[in-house]
Amino acid sequence: MMTALAFVGIGIAKSRATDQPAWRSAVDTLALGGGAAILAFIVSWLLRGVAGM
């Protein structure tokens, strides 16, 4: 939950440097960060046997 809030905060801060509204930038950043987290989880799950865990 804290990570999601951090992504939203980064998105809002990013909106100040772009022409996007704050809510749109926050949603974009949250989706990108959440997607990266899900992908990392899937890759680690698929490679769990390589490390012997």
Tell me how many domains the chain contains: 1
Which string of DSSP letters, residue by residue, matches 17-53? Answer: TSSS-HHHHHHHHHHHHHHHHHHHHHHHHHTTTTTT-
Q: What is the pLDDT of residue 20?
A: 93
pLDDT of residue 35: 96
51, part of any domain = no
Q: Which domain holds residue 39?
A: 2-46
Residue 53 belongs to a domain: no
Mean pLDDT, the chain cut into blocks of 10 residues (53 residues total): 94 94 96 96 89 66
- Give the predicted TM-score (pTM) of the model: 0.80
